[in-house]
Amino acid sequence: MSKVSYLKRYWQMYALLSLPLIYFFIFRYGPMYGVQIAFKDFNLFQGIGGSEWIGLDAFREVFNMREFYTSLRNTFMLNFLDLVVSFPAPIILAIMLYEIKSAWFKKISQTILYIPHFISWVIIGGIVYQLFGNQSGMINEVLQGLGLNPIPFLTEKGPWLVTYLFTGVWQSAGWGTILYLAALTGVNRELFEAAEVDGATRMKKIWYITLPSIKPTIVTLLILNLGKMVSIGFDRPYVIGNTAVREYSDVLSTFVYRIGLESGQYTLATVVGLFQAVVGLVFILGSNYISKKMTGNGII
């Protein structure tokens, strides 16, 4: 096929592709121009171009801030625990949904499970306070009514972690099943029939057919999640966290918000952002490499 006829035939494809490309250039690559703020003494009124270069001074300052290390540690800790607790949840849920035979019950369950995903974290925060507060929370009111001591779900570090993780699972597990369910629709039903003929139990079928068939999806999502180890959403720790558990709830994103947007130290905030991006890149490349070695599946 000549180049001309190739282009003639496929130009629509490229036109379609150009839309996401434009998006990426404007919103993902364009802002990278601002990365240089990390190396400049950023003056609001001189703009990025007019500010003076200061080399790595800002990096030194950030790496000398104890708060930075606390929030870095918390970011890793919360993300790691999330990975342990929240990552398997949608897999288990998806398999359970897949095993449901009644179509209408499956549909209803799915819908119910998706709903929390569409609730904003601010609202979830409100619900969490109403449920788990010491004096005002519903659960503790019941406990006290039964003559038990209230559990400080929100104001002590240990119980707070559980609350944080639990709300995360509650909010995202249902939505997370979508990808797995999609992968499962591709499984050849004949495999199950054959297994049944061979006398496989339900657990055996799950173990030898269902799980292997979503393995690539699991690995891909795991890699993506590992790549995000150093980046953490802003809403959840900010909303669920509070002063009493600041030692655990202060993460890089809330740290950046505080020094960058609230106190206007853009240079320091950019340094942290850049640091996050670099570490994130290392993580994603590293986990991709390991996964390729171990399972033959990767994303790059």
The Cα–Cα gap between 43 and 179 comes to: 45
Restricting to residues 166-225, which ones interact with other proteins according to CB under 8 A?
Answer: none
- Of the ranges 130-138, 186-194, 271-279, 289-297, which one interacts with other proteins (CB under 8 A)? 130-138
CB atoms near residue 245 (< 10 Å): 23
- Of the ranges 44-52, 105-113, 193-201, 272-280, which one interacts with other proteins (CB under 8 A)? 44-52
Tell me which of 129, 166, 175, 234 binds other proteins, using CB under 8 A.
Answer: 129
- Of the ranges 21-29, 108-116, 215-223, 269-277, which one interacts with other proteins (CB under 8 A)? 21-29
- Of the ranges 101-109, 211-219, 256-264, 285-293, which one interacts with other proteins (CB under 8 A)? 256-264
Query: In 3D, which of 232, 217, 230 has the Cα closest to residue 285?
Result: 230
Interface with other proteins, residue 243, by CB under 8 A:
yes
Please report where in the chains the tokens 């400080």 appear, as a residue: 152
Interface with other proteins, residue 18, by CB under 8 A:
yes
Restricting to residues 260-299, which ones interact with other proteins according to CB under 8 A?
Answer: 261-264
The Cα–Cα gap between 274 and 32 comes to: 10
Tell me which of 12, 45, 102, 185 binds other proteins, using CB under 8 A.
Answer: 45
Q: How far is CA 165 from CA 84, 96, 117, 144, 154, in A?
A: 10, 21, 15, 24, 12
Contacts with other proteins by CB under 8 A: the residue count is 41
Q: How far is CA 149 from CA 86, 138, 139, 141, in A?
A: 29, 13, 11, 10
Tell me which of 33, 43, 100, 182 binds other proteins, using CB under 8 A.
Answer: 43
Is there a contact between 298 and 291 (Cβ–Cβ < 8 Å)?
yes
Is there a contact between 143 and 153 (Cβ–Cβ < 8 Å)?
no
Q: What angle (nearest 5°) sits at the alpha carbon of residue 214, between those of residues 118 and 192?
A: 115
Nearer to other proteins, 14 or 105 (CB): 14
The Cα–Cα gap between 261 and 270 comes to: 11
Nearer to other proteins, 14 or 114 (CB): 14
Restricting to residues 133-162, which ones interact with other proteins according to CB under 8 A?
Answer: 133-137, 141, 144-145, 150, 154-155
Nearer to other proteins, 125 or 168 (CB): 125
Tokens standing for 263?
């106190």
Nearer to other proteins, 65 or 206 (CB): 65
CB atoms near residue 217 (< 10 Å): 19
121-132 helix and 157-185 helix, angle to the nearest 10 degrees:
130
Q: How far is the CB of 144 from other proteins (least distance, A)?
A: 5
Tell me which of 25, 33, 63, 114 binds other proteins, using CB under 8 A.
Answer: 25
Kindly list the residues in this chain that would bind other proteins in the complex (CB under 8 A). Answer: 1, 3, 6-7, 14, 17-18, 21-22, 25-26, 30, 43-47, 66-67, 129, 133-137, 141, 144-145, 150, 154-155, 242-244, 246, 258-259, 261-264
